[in-house]
Amino acid sequence: MIAIGSDHAGYHLKESIKKHLDKKGIQYKDFGCHSEERAEYASYAEKVANAVSSGEYEKGLLFCGTGIGMSIAANKVKGIRAVVCSECYSAIMSRRHNDANILALGGRVVGVDLAAMIVDMWLDTPFEGGRHKARVDMISEIEGKNIQKGC
Ligand code: RB5
């Protein structure tokens, strides 16, 4: 099950990707926003990131104007590895090597068809583990140290 969310600038792309996921029979929950009225990206990033971090949702998709604000905000939540991708190579590698658990896309950056392709590749690509697991573990250690410091 996928958690998804957007602000107003990502709303149209989110709606297109929802139709794409429906066609593929992929289940998701939309955490908002629910129209093109102005909405603050950080609050939707937080909802989706918490849903993924808790383990209730396997992965998350976030949409804003660029994908950048969403990814920065989502990465503040423990256990989240959010990436912004505007092409397929990075999307695939973010799964293979970085075990990314949230993909952020820019509604003002990528077209609907490219976004659908990026989402498909990202969802379908497994984490390679091995030496990459040790590297991802190092990221978690940094996170753990900063949580201890109360950052
Ligand atoms: C909204 O104008 C825009 O700043 C937002 O959607 C996002 O691109 C921020 O990173």
**pLDDT tens digit sequence for 22-55:** 999 999 999 999 999 999 999 999 999 999 999 9
Burial class (CB in 10 A: 0-12, 13-18, 19+), 64: buried
Domain that holds residue 17: 2-149
In 3D space, the residue among 71, 49, 75 whose CA is nearest the CA of residue 60 turns out to be 49
> Which atom of ligand 1 sits closest to the CA of residue 108?
8
CATH number of the CATH domain containing 84: 3.40.1400.10
Bridge partners (DSSP) of residue 63 are 6, 105
Choosing from 64, 85, 132, 151, which is the catalytic residue? 64
Task: Give the C-alpha separation, 33 to 106, whole Å.
Answer: 15
pLDDT in tens, 52-95: 999 999 999 999 999 999 999 999 999 999 999 999 999 999 99
Q: Kindly report the pTM of this predicted structure.
A: 0.97
Task: Domain count for the chain, please give it.
Answer: 1
Active site residue 132: no
Through-space distance between the first and last CA atoms of the chain, rounded to whole angstroms: 31
Active site residue 64: yes
